[in-house]
Every structure is written in C-alpha cells, then in structure tokens.
Amino acid sequence: MSPKPILSTLLLAASALVVPPLGAAGKEPITPIPPARVTHRAMVELGKQLFFDPRLSRSGAISCNSCHNLSMGGTDNLKTSIGHNWQQGPINSPTVLNARFNTAQFWDGRAVDLKAQAGGPIANPKEMASSHALAVDVLQSIPGYVAAFRQAFGHDRLGIDEVTQAIAAFEETLVTPNSRFDKWLKGDRKALTKVELDGYRLFKSAGCVVCHNGPAVGGNSFQKMGLVAPYLTSNPAQGRVDVTGKEEDRLHFKVPTLRNVALSYPYFHDGAAATLTEAVDTMARVQLGRQFSADENAKVVAFLKTLTGEQPRVSLPVLPPSTEKTPRPRPFEQP
C-alpha cells in the first residue's frame, strides 16, 4: 500500500470525527488519561530504585532517569542524548511519561512493551554501555537489592527478566492525568479558553487528530515522516523498515504522544524542532500539505499546551549501597 490512499482514508476519517459536539463524553477522538493504579507496591518501589540507579551503566553515572528525566517531562530536553563516554545518541529520547499507552516502544517500535524496552539502553554500547550480565552481577552483589527483589517477586531469581519487569512496573505508573484538556473532556466547560478550543477544533479539522488520538494523543500507530512533502533531515534513522524489513515502512516512525508536549521539547525523531511553533508548522506542511497561518499555528499551540497533566510525584529513592563484591564502575574505560 502506498501512503497516499492511507492519507485520503485518514483525512476522511478525520472529518467524520469533527461531527460530534465538542466535549460530549465519549465522542471525542482523544480520551482522558486514567490515573495510575499501583497494585504491587514492592515491585513499583524496586522499579523506581532501578530507574534511578546509575550502577546499571558501565560508568556508574548514567541511569534511566538521565535521559528520561522525571523533572523534565520524562525527557532530557536534548536533540539527542549523551551516552557512555559522551557519545552522541542517534535519535531523540522519547518521554517515558504515558509510554505505557504506546503500541510499542522506541521510535521504530522494535520493543513490544516497556519491559522489552528497558533492557535496550542498559546493554547499548552507545548508551549505558553495560551488559545484562554485568548489571545483574552488580545487583546480586548488593544485599539491599537481593532482599527487594525477593520481596517483589516472591522467589530468589534475580536476572535481567526481573530487572526489566520491575522497571516496567514503575514506568506503568508514570502517567499524567488531570490536564486541563482532560478536565474539559470530562465536562468542565471552563477548563479551556476560547483560543484553546479553537485550536482543538483546528487540530481535528486539519487532520492532526488522525494520527494523534487516543489517551496519549498519539503513540498508537506508525506513520511516514514526510507523508505529503519530504522531511529534510541529516539524521540517518530509517524508522520502522529496520524492524520489519519492508520497504513501505521506510521513514515510518511511531507517532509520538502529545501529552506534556510543552515539556518534551525538542521535537521529532531527530530533535530538530526546538519549539512547538516550529513543530506545528512543519507537521502541517509535511504531513498535511498545509501552511498554517500564524494565527492558526498559535491556536494549535495553545491547545497543545493544555495537554500538560499532573506530573508524577516521585520521592527520590535511597539506593542500597554497593559492597566489596560489587563490580566497580568504570567510567574512563572503553567497553
């Protein structure tokens, strides 16, 4: 299938979506973010420790939180991240907030879920540059972790499966409910200004909502970057084709969530758009074949800013100390 028929079908679907009255419960293409439900506290607490623990990296200095900083919208606000030995990452770090709603993880969707994702950066020589075996050795040498894994899992195995499962359990809780837009969705007519509502209407009628819908306002499909006009970038990433091997998936990337998009700058897989204004302008041109006026752009941006939800309240974990048996961090040694 070539992209053109998809576009027409989607735009048709988009115009259909505009018909229901604004804000009528259950009739909008975007749905509210449900609050986190923690059913296994010991698992989530363990996952939080691991998420903040730089000893999962070879250097002892890079943690999950380094690139998915929970103080900064679950991102590092860099074009591309800084890995072991200050290596420049190949692609923009997506937010971990609401990542549970993604259909798959990474820009090319190569990880089926959060658990599969969590193992990637630990062993990537350009990121945390450790290995699963080394990370597990480190954790097994620390009695505080051994006890926490036993409490969380009810057994004595401590392998990479348990590590990534716990990290994923913590990440499942990283949702951002009660944005102003969600309040409006739930019936609070005063939650949005007229400009913001105009922006939402335009977001729907222009076709943005075709890809950016659902609870995460995205994250649930792969689409071609540069659907109606080429997207020019020096970033060599080819997207979904690297996973499927299908030529038609070249330059297809996971549609990013727009939740908290005011916090997760810079934008796109190459981090090339520094501001929302720029990102909206580019999207309209290369995905919709449309040039927004300054007024239209400002309205859409105003709407997007209403998608910032309550950020997770995270108390910094106190990590159990290393022991004499713990493999030492090696920051200044090549992997």
* Distance separating alpha carbons of residues 254 and 109, to the nearest angstrom: 7
Enumerate residues 158-187 that contact a copy of itself by CB under 8 A.
none
* Distance separating alpha carbons of residues 157 and 150, to the nearest angstrom: 8
* Distance separating alpha carbons of residues 220 and 205, to the nearest angstrom: 20
Q: Is 127 in the site for a copy of itself (CB under 8 A)?
A: no
* Distance separating alpha carbons of residues 18 and 14, to the nearest angstrom: 7
Q: Is 90 in the site for a copy of itself (CB under 8 A)?
A: no
**How far separated are the first and last CA of the chain, in Å rounded?**
43
Q: Is 321 in the site for a copy of itself (CB under 8 A)?
A: yes
Nearer to a copy of itself by Cβ, of 251 and 273: the residue is 273
Q: Which of 11, 22, 78, 195 binds a copy of itself (CB under 8 A)?
A: 78
Q: Is 77 in the site for a copy of itself (CB under 8 A)?
A: yes
Q: Segment contacting a copy of itself (CB under 8 A): 21-29, 30-38, 189-197, 257-265?
A: 257-265
Q: Is 322 in the site for a copy of itself (CB under 8 A)?
A: yes
Annotated catalytic, 296? no
SS3 assignment, position 82:
strand
Closest CA to 109 of 227, 259, 255: 255
Q: Is 124 in the site for a copy of itself (CB under 8 A)?
A: no
* Distance separating alpha carbons of residues 318 and 109, to the nearest angstrom: 33
Q: Which of 13, 285, 311, 335 binds a copy of itself (CB under 8 A)?
A: 311
- Give Cα 210 to chain centroid, integer Å: 19
Enumerate residues 259-278 that contact a copy of itself by CB under 8 A.
262-263, 265, 274-275, 277
Q: Which of 52, 153, 231, 292 binds a copy of itself (CB under 8 A)?
A: 52
Q: Is 128 in the site for a copy of itself (CB under 8 A)?
A: no
Q: Are 78 and 271 in contact (CB under 8 A)?
A: yes
* Distance separating alpha carbons of residues 221 and 255, to the nearest angstrom: 6
Q: Which residues are annotated as catalytic?
A: 127
Residues that bind a copy of itself (CB under 8 A): 52-55, 59-61, 66, 69-73, 76-78, 82, 85-86, 88, 262-263, 265, 274-275, 277, 311, 313-319, 321-322, 324, 328-329, 331-332
